Amino acid sequence: EEAALPIVNAASDAEADGGGSDETSSDQPPASEGLEGCSFWNDREAKVVAAIVGRLLKGQHVTPAQIGVITPYRAQRQLLSREIGSVLGGLETAASGGLAIDTVDGFQGNERDLILVSLVRCNSDGRVGFLADPRRMNVAITRARRGIIVVGHRDTLSKRDTMWRRWVEWVAGSGGAVHWENIRSSFVP
């Protein structure tokens, strides 16, 4: 019998800027953001999102056409496409199944039953870039018909008094925030 699927609202809570936390396993790189041109990416977050998508599809909880993956940055969209394609055995498989991977701006006007959001930003200063725009936050968290999984760095999102801080506090207060390391074994063999 397959284990129940964990409900995740926020994950990938390792320390920013290369520092590790006691909860981070040695085989996982610390979460950090990178910059490609004017666009940010986060390799660990992309791997987390790909693992979640793989588990959802493997467990036949949803079909590819029911899933949308959203991120504010083009570089992260490209990285997510590669990682998810790798997990699914090729990007063509994901695309032909209708799984949508796009930027927040590109996904505007679309919906899916389940949305995964990769927030990308992970730094000790609490800089969130595009995420500071309330319109982008609105699009990112309102595209789901049935459920949303937000993957982000809790410390970065909570550093400053922003709408993301209030949202993270609300999610944590309702019991919806989960550290990736606490559920990773449910998603990665």
Instruction: Output the pLDDT for position 42.
Output: 92
pLDDT digits (tens, 9 = 90+) for 37-77: 668 889 989 999 999 998 888 887 789 999 999 999 999 99
Q: Which residue has the tokens 């982008």?
A: 136
Nearest to 118 by CA among 173, 55, 68, 54: 68
Q: Which residues share a beta bridge with 177?
A: 10
The 8-class DSSP code of residue 111 comes to: -
| Ranges in the chain, pLDDT < 50 | 1-30
Cα–Cα distance, 143 to 161 (Å, whole number): 25
Instruction: Output the pLDDT for position 150.
Output: 92
Nearest to 147 by CA among 42, 22, 60, 61: 61
Superfamily of segment(s) 34-187: P-loop containing nucleotide triphosphate hydrolases (3.40.50.300)
The 8-class DSSP code of residue 64 comes to: G
Per the confidence metrics, is the pTM higher than 0.85?
no
Instruction: Output the pLDDT for position 144.
Output: 92
Reduce the DSSP state of residue 72 to 3 states and report it: coil
